[in-house]
Amino acid sequence: MDTFYIIANSQKEDSIRLRDRIAGYLRDCGKICSYQEECVPQEAAGYRFTDPKKVPEDVECVIVLGGDGTVIQAARDLACRDVAFLGVNLGTVGYLAEIEAKEYEEALNSLMRGEYHLESRMMLDGKAYGKAGELYHSRALNDIVISRTGGLRIINFQIFVNGRYLKSYNADGMIISTPTGSTGYNLSAGGPIVEPGADMLLVTPICAHSVNARSIVLSGEDVVEVVIGPGRKTKEEQAVATFDGDTAVTLVTGERIVIRKSGRNTKLIKLNDRSFLEILSKKLK
């Protein structure tokens, strides 16, 4: 690899210092390296923190400094670009961030020598529809969560798969997760852990009011539709759909969100032979 781009949190001094060290090291090695100058939310512009138009066309590797959340947001912002991501962990979890900050020189040397492989992760494509048409459209790498708002009351979620009714959950919310997101909110809600390279959708209720409520594992080719059902005494209920825990859109009774596998994947750079199970065992202690 010869051309790099760095995404760092401009509000954090440790992130900026590491960005400058990495950029200097790559340039001293004769490589091309540019970076994002600032990190300001720009939701109305169609991205959150990283403007795809400012990333040079010939960039081969995007180095993301931060935790898993930073890697996820960068993947969403740059989903329209065919680039590979290397996460440098400045957080605590590090499922997606491949290396620790102190390992950056060794990691960069491996990249420049071509000693790496790419791991493809599926993304979700979600479209929310209101009574007047489409409300919102975005992608997610981890999950799309539809949950209650306001008071402590359950919501009736009607689940359809490929246009056919599957079942209803009376619950606090529903998680539609990728295999990458299976170790996130899905796991906390009692959902299954899935090897991240798999091609499938996980449908997991949050605090369902039934002893028989379980997660459902679907093919990656299936299309899941979640409809907000009527409340008690036909009262209109309100829920909110969030994409990777960040962007949110409000839905009311009768409105829906349609979720399918995205036509875009996230490519993560792998520099070591540690298996997913090895990492999982370490993180779960």
**Catalytic residue of the set 28, 68, 199, 244:** 68
How many other β-carbons are positioned within 10 Å of the β-carbon of residue 228?
Answer: 23
Long-range contacts of 92-96 (CB under 8 A, 24+ apart): 92/67, 93/67, 93/68, 93/283, 94/67, 94/68, 94/283, 95/68, 95/183, 95/279, 95/283, 96/68, 96/71, 96/72, 96/180, 96/268
- For the record, the structure tokens of 255 come out as 């409105």
Q: What is the DSSP string of 236-267?
A: PPEEEEEETTTEEEEEETT-EEEEEEEEEEEE
Indicate if 68 belongs to the active site. yes
Torsion of CA 43, 46, 49, 52, to 10 degrees: -170
Residues 6+ apart with CB under 8 A from 131: 254, 255
* Residues identified as active-site: 68
